[in-house]
């Protein structure tokens, strides 16, 4: 899995300029449920050409807060956001994180 570490909100702005859909996986490094969801996501991930950002919520909570504000989603952890055409078209968390749901949107 080729994660792109999300460490600055400008990365989201650049991804939007490219106009390609992208994913943001928000992960709490202190939470076993988040670790389990991330592991399950990594094992099932088989998308090609979709940038997938990894957001460490402990280190970069302000980025998560900005995502919640900009895309009108409630902050959760773990959480998966799918951004298409500048809109969050899919948001889910915990055991509902599923790559098949993303495939249906592509």
Which pTM was predicted? 0.92
Q: What is residue 38's predicted lDDT score, i.e. its pLDDT?
A: 93
In angstroms, the first-to-last Cα distance of the chain is 19
What gap in Å lies between CA 45 and CA 1, rounded to an integer? 7
What are the extents of the domains in the chain?
3-105
Mean pLDDT for the chain? 93
Residue 82 above 90 pLDDT? yes
Residues 46-72 pLDDT 10s: 988 899 999 999 999 999 999 999 999
The CATH fold assigned to 3-105 is Glutaredoxin (3.40.30)
Share in percent of the chain as helix, strand, coil (round to 5):
40, 25, 35
Q: What is the pLDDT of residues 7-32, one digit of tens each?
A: 999 999 999 998 789 999 999 999 99
pLDDT (0 to 100) of residue 37:
93
**What is the side-by-side strand order in the sheet with 51-56?**
3-5, 51-56, 22-27, 79-84, 87-93
């Amino acid at each position: 899995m080729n994660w792109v570490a999300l460490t600055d909100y400008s990365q989201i702005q650049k991804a939007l300029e490219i106009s390609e859909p992208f994913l943001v996986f928000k992960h709490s490094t202190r939470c076993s449920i988040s670790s389990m969801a991330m592991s399950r996501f990594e094992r099932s991930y088989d998308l090609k050409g979709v940038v997938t950002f990894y957001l460490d919520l402990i280190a970069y909570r302000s980025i998560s807060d900005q995502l919640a504000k900009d895309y009108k989603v409630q902050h959760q952890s773990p959480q998966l956001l799918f951004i298409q055409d500048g809109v969050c078209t899919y948001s889910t968390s915990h055991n509902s994180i599923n790559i098949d749901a993303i495939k249906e949107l592509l």
